[in-house]
């Protein structure tokens, strides 16, 4: 045996025995985001950037509608709220509730103002003047360039009442309620396309609460007369909102889908999350709960659609038509009256909102509508008091997404460090959950035909920036990439009438030329990166 072979064998034996070790090869400690424009999910629907205006607290009166304010226009709408709503790019607005809708009779809110009755408002314990109703809401939606989405009363209301509302709003002329609209000064129909068959009818708190079978029967017959009045409308069924331990939300969803599979166009789901235990990392994981529920319902839809007879209509889609952070203003006096649900948001709330929006984009093939509840004052991104107004922290991620994130959602590969949560409640009364392997980087991306790519990244890490290699696996990054960041001095930072601690800042652009960009995402931040991928 040669000396070389003898020395090699001796070294190898020492290595096996653990006496000798070889120096470790340096590892890349960067996180990785891989973008492939051919790995697509579905088209991002603009309706996911919807909002909500309910007769609740100061959402309508003193929020959107405040005739006595010097900020009001000639219709009584606050001009500052209109401007902020337009800048938020609200695509559609849900009305008139919410819980309010289950005891609301639309005829109370039309016609001469001095002839409209005052009513006891039973859902939120207020007096309802009905000065703001169908036509005022429609004028407001036009002022903010949004589409209307109406919820009919499936609690104390009847199918006839729902049919007559469609007649009033959508039929050009002839029948009584179409002519009544014209008598009220609105010659042309409003042509409202989206109608929800009630609100949260699975909830024991709902006026007129039903079990799943009874709800489906009532919804089917109500849908029948509404569609006979206007065949062009799209209908949304009330899916699960009750996720308390003693509820069976997926049973509700299954029954409603089976019974209405040939009738409705969307199934509505609701979720509210919070951080009552002040556990930042648990809270940051809550959008994953929404994503889990989305996947479960998506599987149900696929199963039920295999037995459906929908003609040329597409399969049922998911509408997350109520979602938000809501936990501080959720007990006692803060739940009712004229100052109800006035949640004040901080940076960690804004990051969770960005996480929800990422989840909608990642599920763009089935989530085709979403409504943050609500627009102004009530758990809202816009807050007024007297003649002042400011934008809450949650305004800024909503604005960035709705401004830029369109096109085809991409199936993005993300490799970053992870963490595990404790068992915790995501919201008031909800069942416990636990999340394992939560990635610190939460990512979505979309791609347009013109080559523009949008990358949305939430860095959930509370203390550390995460240096990340962003890799294009099909084509090369090219030219200037704009960078926008929502952040603040700490996760509890909030905005108020005097100062804005959390907002969007445009950062230094990235000059890209090749298949890789490296960027360090700051701690507790949401970042949007916009640029071009050249595929030829």
The pair phi, psi for residue 49, each rounded to 5°, is -100, 40
**Ordered DSSP codes for 315-375:** PPEEEEEEEEE--SS-SGGGGSSTTTT----BHHHHHHHHHHHHHHHHTTTTEEEEEES-S
Tokens of 239: 């899916």
Kind and range of the H or E run holding 159: helix 159-170
Distance CA 385, CA 147 (A): 27
CATH number at residue 492: 2.60.40.1180
Strand partners, 470: 33, 517
Tokens of 109: 């809110």
Q: What pLDDT shows up at residue 322?
A: 98
Q: What pLDDT shows up at residue 23?
A: 37
pLDDT at 492 exceeding the cut of 70 = yes
Whether residue 10 lies inside any domain: the answer is no
Specify the number of domains making up the chain. 1
Question: By residue range, what is the domain housing residue 439?
Answer: 31-40+410-534
Average pLDDT over residues 141-170: 98
- Span 117-153, pLDDT tens digits: 999 999 999 999 999 999 999 999 999 999 999 999 9
Average pLDDT over residues 52-59: 98
Q: What pLDDT shows up at residue 428?
A: 75
Distance CA 168, CA 158 (A): 15
Whether residue 198 lies inside any domain: the answer is no
Distance CA 329, CA 63 (A): 17
Show the DSSP H helices in 34-125 as ranges: 79-87
**Cα 259 versus chain centre, distance:** 26
Whether residue 163 lies inside any domain: the answer is no
Percent of the chain at pLDDT above 70?
A: 95
Q: What pLDDT shows up at residue 8?
A: 47
pLDDT band (50, 70, 90) for residue 367? very high
Distance CA 58, CA 342 (A): 9
pLDDT at 519 exceeding the cut of 80 = yes
Cis amide prior to 98 (ω within 30 degrees): yes
pLDDT band (50, 70, 90) for residue 498? very high
Distance CA 26, CA 364 (A): 39
- Span 445-488, pLDDT tens digits: 999 999 999 999 999 999 999 999 999 999 999 999 999 999 99
> Contact at 8 Å (CB) between 362 and 444?
yes
- Span 228-240, pLDDT tens digits: 999 999 999 999 9
What mean pLDDT value characterizes the chain? 94
Whether residue 185 lies inside any domain: the answer is no
Whether residue 454 lies inside any domain: the answer is yes
Average pLDDT over residues 188-212: 98
Tokens of 379: 């758990």
Percent of the chain at pLDDT above 90?
A: 92
Whether residue 235 lies inside any domain: the answer is no
CA angle 509, 38, 514 (to 5 degrees): 35
- Span 61-115, pLDDT tens digits: 999 999 999 999 999 999 999 999 999 999 999 999 999 999 999 999 999 999 9
pLDDT band (50, 70, 90) for residue 536? confident
Whether residue 135 lies inside any domain: the answer is no
Whether residue 477 lies inside any domain: the answer is yes
Active-site residue set = 200, 322
């Amino acid at each position: 045996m040669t000396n070389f072979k003898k020395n090699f064998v001796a070294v190898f034996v020492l290595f096996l025995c653990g006496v000798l070790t070889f120096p470790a090869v340096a590892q890349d400690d960067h996180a990785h985001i891989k973008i492939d424009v051919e790995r697509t999910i579905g088209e991002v629907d603009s309706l996911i950037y919807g909002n909500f205006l309910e007769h609740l607290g100061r959402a309508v009166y003193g929020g959107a509608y405040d005739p006595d304010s010097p900020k009001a226009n000639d219709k009584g709408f606050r001009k500052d709220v209109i401007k902020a709503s337009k800048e938020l790019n609200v695509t559609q607005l849900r009305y008139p509730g919410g819980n309010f809708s289950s005891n609301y009779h639309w005829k109370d809110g039309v016609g001469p103002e001095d002839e409209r009755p005052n009513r006891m408002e039973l859902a939120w314990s207020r007096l309802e003047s009905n000065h703001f109703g169908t036509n005022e809401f429609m004028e407001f939606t036009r002022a903010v360039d949004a589409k209307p989405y109406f919820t009919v009363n499936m609690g104390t209301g009847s199918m006839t009442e729902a049919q007559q509302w469609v007649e009033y709003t959508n039929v050009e002329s002839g029948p009584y309620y179409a002519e009544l609209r014209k008598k009220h000064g609105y010659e042309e129909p409003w042509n409202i396309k989206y109608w929800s068959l009630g609100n949260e009818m699975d909830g024991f708190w709902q006026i007129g609460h039903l079990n799943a079978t009874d709800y489906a029967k009532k919804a089917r017959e109500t849908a029948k007369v509404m569609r006979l009045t206007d065949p062009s409308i799209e209908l949304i069924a009330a899916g699960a909102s009750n996720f308390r331990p003693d509820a069976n939300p997926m049973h509700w969803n299954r029954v409603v889908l089976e019974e209405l599979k040939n009738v409705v166009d969307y199934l509505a789901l609701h979720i509210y999350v919070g951080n009552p235990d002040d556990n930042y990392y648990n809270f940051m994981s809550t959008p994953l709960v929404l994503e889990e529920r989305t996947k479960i319902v998506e599987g149900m839809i696929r199963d039920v659609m295999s037995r459906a007879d929908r003609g040329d209509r597409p399969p049922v889609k998911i509408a997350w038509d109520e979602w938000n952070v809501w936990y501080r203003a959720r007990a006692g006096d803060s739940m009712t009256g004229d100052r109800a649900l006035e949640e004040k948001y901080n940076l960690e709330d804004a990051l969770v909102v960005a996480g929800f929006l990422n989840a909608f984009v990642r599920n763009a093939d089935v989530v085709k509508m979403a409504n943050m509840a609500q627009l102004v004052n009530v758990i809202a991104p816009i807050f007024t008091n007297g003649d002042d107004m400011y934008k809450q922290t949650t305004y800024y991620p909503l604005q960035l997404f709705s401004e830029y994130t369109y096109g085809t959602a991409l199936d993005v590969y993300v490799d970053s460090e992870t963490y595990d949560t404790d068992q915790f409640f995501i919201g008031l009364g909800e069942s416990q959950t636990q999340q394992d392997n939560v990635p610190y980087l939460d990512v979505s991306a979309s791609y347009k035909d013109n080559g523009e790519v949008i990358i949305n990244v939430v860095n959930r890490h509370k203390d550390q920036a995460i240096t990340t290699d962003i890799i294009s696996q099909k084509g090369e990054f090219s030219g200037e990439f704009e960078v926008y960041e929502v952040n603040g001095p700490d996760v509890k930072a909030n905005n108020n009438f005097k100062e804005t601690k959390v907002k969007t800042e445009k950062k230094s652009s990235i000059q890209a030329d090749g298949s890789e960009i490296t960027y360090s995402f700051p701690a507790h931040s949401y970042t949007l990166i916009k640029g071009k991928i050249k595929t030829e």
